[in-house]
Amino acid sequence: MTHRAITTLVSLLLLAGAASAQSPRDRFPSDGPLSLSVETLGSDDDVLLRGFLEVAENRAETAGRRIRLHVVVLPARRREPRADPVFWLAGGPGQAAASLAPMFVEHWLREERDLVFVDQRGTGRSNPLHVKTGAERNDLAGLLAAPFDPERFRAALPELEKRADLRCYTSSIAADDLDEVRRALGYEQVNLMGGSYGTRMALVYMRQYRAAVRSAVLDGVAPIAFENPLHHARSAQEGFDRLVAECEANERTRTAYPDLRGDLARVLERLDAAPAKLELDGQEVELSRDGFTSALRVMLYYEAGNRSVPRLLQRAARGDLEPFARAAVQSNRALRDALALGMLMCVTSAEDLARIDEDEIVRECAGTFLGEIRVRAQLAIAAFWPRGTVPAGWSSPVAVEVPTLLLSGTHDPVTPPRWGEEAASHLPRSEHVVVQGCHGVGGHPRVQRLIREFLDAASVDGLDLDGIADIRMAPIELPGAERR
Per the rule left: phi > 0, alpha: psi between -120 and 50, beta: everything else, 347 is alpha
CB environment 221-257: b (16+ within 10 A), e (fewer)? bbbbbbbbbbbbbbbbbbbbebbbebbeeeeebeebb
pLDDT given at position 134: 62
Which residues, 6 or more positions from 155, have their beta carbon under 8 angstroms from its beta carbon? Answer: none
pLDDT of residue 35: 85
CA dist 193 and 156 (Å) reads 32
**Buried (b) or exposed (e) across 89-121, using 16+ Cβ within 10 A?**
bbbbbbbbbbbbbeebeeeebbebbbbbbbbbb
User: What is d(CA 386, CA 158) in angstroms, rounded to the nearest whole number?
Assistant: 11
Helices (H) and strands (E) in the chain, counts: 17, 11
Give 379-424 as a DSSP string: HHHHTTS------TTTTSPP-----EEEEEETT-SSS-HHHHHHHH
* Cα gap 31→2, rounded to integer Å: 45
pLDDT tens for the 484 residues of the chain, in order: 444 443 333 333 333 333 345 666 677 766 779 989 988 887 667 889 999 999 999 999 878 999 999 999 999 999 899 999 999 999 999 999 999 999 999 999 999 999 999 999 999 999 999 998 765 667 888 889 888 999 999 999 999 999 999 999 999 999 999 999 999 999 999 999 999 999 999 999 999 999 999 999 999 999 999 999 999 999 999 999 999 999 999 999 999 999 999 999 999 999 999 999 999 989 999 999 999 999 999 999 999 999 999 999 999 999 999 999 999 999 888 888 889 999 999 999 999 999 999 999 999 999 999 999 999 999 999 999 999 999 999 999 999 999 999 999 999 999 999 999 999 999 999 999 999 999 999 999 999 999 999 999 999 999 999 999 999 999 999 998 765 4
> What pLDDT shows up at residue 29?
67
Instruction: Give SS3 for 428.
Output: coil
Using only C-alpha atoms, what is the Rg of the chain?
24
Largest distance between two CA atoms of the chain: 97
Q: Which domains does the chain have, with CATH numbers?
A: 24-127+167-225+397-470 (3.40.50.1820), 130-163+228-391 (no CATH)
Check residue 319 and give its pLDDT.
96
